[in-house]
Structure 1
């Protein structure tokens, strides 16, 4: 093969393989979606032991199932280490592992709703016009759908449900990480805790459940909290964080500020400052902190997520520590701590003094 510029042939082969992997990478996500839609992980889990293809077929219970297609899907998912496979007496046996456990639909801690959100055509289509957004400006999502993402959710109840479920599943996972790593901080808190942009209220409800001396407020847009369930110790309040935020001793924001540009973030942070009812009140931000020189399980996906923010929001982005420090100072918070937790995000504590 004649490589351009006389480059090293082995390196060029590796490069070709890498580009091909990226080109066909979308099929990885769609294979996960297929797995969730067919409830394959749940079928294996309910079986209670390593499961044959025939038993998976029985669990799917379709009169016209494509057995060859299912077998090829399972081989692919084993290749991707989503399931484990071993030889059986008559058929190979499939079992769950540390990856496929996250695809269970009948559990509280799952990524299955996020799979369905991230592979939804409404979310995926904006990537097709990313080059236009780079050349001409504007938001890819707006260019494709004629509305910004949150406005689109308000106008489309079916997608709004998919979006809220995807956000709620990540909230549950992050909440467990917060409660395990930040638990001593909750003991000393008093009064009311407001979760700004709290969606279905998962985060604040779990905090209040674990620390019943606190009162919880889930604060979000009207169309968001309209589908939120009832939780003991939590009230839902509709409003606009750009206008005013309910007063509290502690304000939480999880995965909110990365949706917005710097100017909007400063407005929100200033409103948080106004809403803190005591001078030693605390703003707790749960967001990714970009550090491309550091290596952990989530470092690469943080970079990918920054590109997702670019395609979905007019000014959304993931930020480095220096960028967070600047935003907090502009919003009136001149002291902060960053606390790492076992999750995609970190905890950023911000103080008035």
Structure 2
């Protein structure tokens, strides 16, 4: 009887609170996305010390009159999530917003940044398949294909803007992973003369390996629309492939 009362009373109330929390989890991602789009982390970090909202707003590009109230609401959530710090307003002095270790991962152009991945994961085209998960359970199939009428690789090849967002995201996470691998696996590549990365995207991972081990001849294989946007890396050759059979033909013999 006591168990039933707990479930009907306090247990159900706590469960309701949890459901509300999950319902609004998307707000965290959207606030992070807006911070990346507005370059909030870049503005704060560039000053080297905490700044007020007015100074932050003045640094937002392509906006002659930013809405301070809206910006304050976004910052309130990001401070609560510990993305930024705040020193409360006192004696007529504006509240000051500062950086954290987490905000460093939102910087544009940083060697190690998660900003590109965050933009991909919150892009409306990447989120659209999530609305088809129940359809996949009922009917089978691939969620991305149900949302966009084609699989992701074909979609990327026909949509240059999304292709860039996707490749930038893959590149940023590849650099993060390879930095860790290169640090912990220092001598593991010493005996390697050449290395092939199949489906290596724009070559970020291979670029990190060859940068640390310049004796390696790096070969990066991927689809034509991916290779078309790949930057040059010293010691890395980009090769287009359209199918596995072509890869097997082109792959260097040992």
TM-score, with length taken from structure 1: 0.67
Name the residue aligned to 1:72.
Answer: 73
CA RMSD of aligned residues (A): 1.9
What does residue 29 of structure 1 align with? 29
Deviation at 1:207?
0.7
Candidates 149, 152, 159, aligned match of 2:152:
149
SS at match of 1:60: coil
CA distance in 1, matches of 2:69, 2:169: 31
The alpha-carbon deviation at position 87 of structure 1 amounts to: 3.2
- Structure 1 segments unaligned to the other structure (5+ residues): 249-274, 278-353
Please name the residue that 1:206 is paired with.
Answer: 208
Residue by residue over 1:223-243, the C-alpha shift from the partner in whole angstroms, topping out at 9 and shown as x without a partner, is 110111111111111114622
Deviation larger for 88-97 or 15-24 = 88-97
**2:59 alignment counterpart:** 59
* 1:184-234 per-position Cα deviation (integer Å, ceiling 9, x unaligned): 2112x2211111111111111111111111110011111110111111111
2: CA distance, partners of 1:117 / 1:190: 34
Does the aligned pair in 2 maintain the 1:196–1:241 contact within 8 Å? no
Deviation at 1:21, TM superposition (A): 1.1
Asked if structure 2 preserves the Cα contact closer than 8 Å seen for 1:42 and 1:106, the reply is no
The structural deviation recorded for 1:14 is: 2.4
Task: Provide closer, same or farther for how the CA distance between residues 9 and 183 of structure 1 changes in structure 2, counting only shifts above 3 A.
Answer: farther
1:225 maps to 227
Structure 1 partner of 2:135: 132
Q: Separation in 1 of the partners of 2:84 and 2:17?
A: 24
Alignment equivalent of 1:236, drawn from 235, 238, 243? 238
Measure, in 1, the Cα distance between the counterparts of 2:5 and 2:232.
65
- Report the 3-state secondary structure (helix = DSSP H, G, I; strand = E; otherwise coil) of the residue aligned with 2:175: helix
Task: Tell me what 1:165 maps to.
Answer: 168
82-91 or 69-78: which moved more? 82-91
SS in 1 for 2:195: strand
More strand by share: 1
Q: How many residue pairs end up in the alignment?
A: 247
TM-score, scaled to structure 2: 0.91
Residue correspondence of structure 1 range 263-278 to structure 2 within 5 A: 277=254
Question: How far has the Cα of 1:129 moved from its partner?
Answer: 1.6
Unaligned 5+ runs, structure 2: none
Structural mapping, 1:76-87, within 5 Å: 76-87=77-88
- CA distance in structure 1 between the aligned counterparts of 2:64 and 2:232, rounded to whole angstroms: 40
CA contact (8 A) 1:186 1:211 kept: yes
Shift in Å, 1:6: 6.2
